[in-house]
Amino acid sequence: MQAIRETTDWEFPNHIYLVDGLTLVAYIKKGTTEPFYFKKPYIGFKKNGRTFAPVNPNPFTVVKKAGVIEVSGSKGNVYWVDPEEKTCTCPGYVYRGKCKHLKEYADA
């Protein structure tokens, strides 16, 4: 997944997006630091007529709010479960809207 900042010169605010190919997973609204993860990722995110630049370091792996639980995936990857929002950053949740991490920690 890649974090990209919109650099299009237009009348709308340019946000930071977390994309996986043509799938929009989350975004950070301009002027804020908290990412918003979609419950169902938007498939078909198009960049036509717009410009973007990579964001390093990736703010989606750095920004974290109170109450979010760090969990390890089965292959050693680190994911974030938000019991209050009932979301997880693992691929299972991102693509299906449910996962074992959320099931395990939702009542934490």
Q: Count the neighbouring beta carbons within 10 Å of the beta carbon of residue 49.
A: 7
What is the pLDDT averaged over residues 74-101?
A: 83
Question: Does 97 score more than 90 pLDDT?
Answer: no
- Looking at every residue in the chain, the average pLDDT score rounds to 85
The whole-angstrom separation of Cα 64 and Cα 91 is 18
**pLDDT band at residue 62 under the 50/70/90 scheme:** very low
The whole-angstrom separation of Cα 76 and Cα 103 is 19
**pLDDT band at residue 63 under the 50/70/90 scheme:** very low
Higher pLDDT, residue 58 or 103: 103
Q: What's CA 56's distance to the chain center, in Å? A: 15
The CA distances from residue 26 to 50, 94, 102, in Å, are 18, 9, 18
